[in-house]
Amino acid sequence: MNSFSKKVGIINLGISNLGSITNLITHLKREVEIINDYSQLDKFSHVILPGIGSFKEASKIIKKKNLKKNIKNFIDTNGKFFGICLGMQLMFESSEEHGKSNGLGIIKGKCSHIRSKKLKIPHIGFNKIQHDNHYIWKKIPKKSSFYFVHSYKIDFKKNYNDVYFIYCKYEKPFIAFLRKGNVFGSQFHPEKSGKFGIKLIENFLKIK
């Protein structure tokens, strides 16, 4: 079982900028390490999968390096997992970005292009979400704003029995945040969302 005393790991897919999230965790005075060897996830108590880039390219890396199995093992042994932006999208089964490609399949569902006749795509900037006061949102006001930059989103759906979704609206509602046991995901970038984003990651790192 993963120990709370272990380090925080950030998975490097080779397509994302890891600097901002690494600096945030260092700011929170937690020891952090970039994970290049995916078989070593059990060294960490908390693992973050950040994401900027193409779902299709990320999917190829996941398949080539057997990341799906390693993440599943990490989660099954009570490791705390957090996917950010593309990292959250990859937690689902598939995406239509640049043709259909497969994700990690941690949660059922797919990723599709944001379509709007009224608003600019991609969705860029701060947008409000209303959270549910779950412990990861401790000391974060309701209707706080977080920073988004994305052209794809997880399709709107009713809550599953074992997954809780929080929504944001950009003409139409889309999933902005989720939790499933010891698994969390945000479509927004906490590391670029100021003090509330910092607090969210701080709360995540306190979960035992």
Give domain limits for the chain.
7-205
Residue-level pLDDT at 113: 94
How confident is the model over 113-119, as a mean pLDDT? Answer: 90
Contact between residue 50 and residue 88 where contact means Cβ atoms under 8 Å apart? no
pLDDT tens digits along 165-206: 999 999 988 999 999 999 999 999 999 999 999 999 999 999
Percent of the chain with pLDDT over 90: 78
Look at residue 160 and tell me whether its pLDDT is greater than 90: no
If pLDDT is split at 50, 70 and 90, which confidence band does 1 have? very low
Query: Comparing 142-146, 158-162, 164-168, which segment has the lowest mean pLDDT?
Result: 158-162
pLDDT at position 3: 47
Architecture of the domain made up of 7-205:
3-Layer(aba) Sandwich (3.40)
What is the rounded CA–CA span in Å between residue 32 and residue 46? 10
- Mean pLDDT over 79-84 rounds to 97
Rounded to 10 deg, the angle between the 19-27 and 194-205 helix axes is 70
pLDDT reported for residue 57: 92
Average pLDDT, integer, range 46-68: 92
pTM of the model: 0.94
- 149 has a pLDDT exceeding 70: yes
Going by pLDDT thresholds of 50, 70 and 90, the confidence category of residue 15 is confident
Angle at 43 between CA 71 and CA 72, to 5 degrees: 15
Q: Which of the residues are catalytic?
A: 85, 189, 191
Mean pLDDT of the chain: 92
Sequence-distant contacts of 95-102: CB under 8 A, at least 24 apart: 95/55, 95/56, 95/59, 95/152, 96/152, 97/54, 97/55, 97/56, 97/152, 98/54, 98/55, 98/56, 99/56, 101/55, 101/56, 101/59, 101/60, 102/59, 102/62, 102/63
Q: How confident is the model at residue 39 (pLDDT cuts 50, 70, 90)?
A: very high
User: Does 43 have pLDDT greater than 50?
Assistant: yes
Quick one: pLDDT at residue 14? 87
